Amino acid sequence: MAYETLLLDIDANVALLTLNRPSVLNALNTTLLHELDEAIQELAMACTLRLANSSARLAQPEIKLGLIPGYGGSQRLPRLVGRGAALKLLLTGAVIDATEAYRIGLIDELVEAGSDALLARALELARLIASMPPLALAAAIESVDQGAGLPLDEALALEAHIFGRLCGTDDKREGTRAFLEKRQPVWSGR
């Protein structure tokens, strides 16, 4: 699908989604957000991990316009960085550098300046993740996402249930066989 504000390149199980509004420093607008939503509906691992170039600067500047972040910004940010750090960013509209974003947990990995290095690392990580068994990937995300809001005993029960569900899969059998035979597994997603 062609997008007005995005570039989408899919290679095997890895999709590269690039914001394409350089004249406004890739600022979000309604079209970009709508297109991101459409594209992400096709990307099962969307925003599971966040990498940034060491020269990146991030902000939630909506307060300066008399607004709050839309599209989940005021809800996702505290889940990533905690209530206090989120409120500091939301209430001040402050711009933070990549080092601070990494320190507070807004980004998961900091890559040295240079777009080539960032893209290379992002693709390396994406390809590694895409090489893993799809059912186990989805289950790991499910376990973390659902368990995060539960008391620990309920979260542990959820984890055990998901673990048990995976034990009956073809991928689990293939992974075990491949390990014992000292070869790379071939995942079926079943």
Kindly list the catalytic residues: 42, 62
What's the Rg (C-alpha) of the chain?
19
Three-state SS for 15? strand
DSSP state for residue 182 in the 8-state scheme: T
Tokens of 71: 């599209």
Integer Cα distance of 46 and 66 in angstroms? 29
Helix (H) and strand (E) counts for the chain? 8, 6
Integer Cα distance of 145 and 159 in angstroms? 11
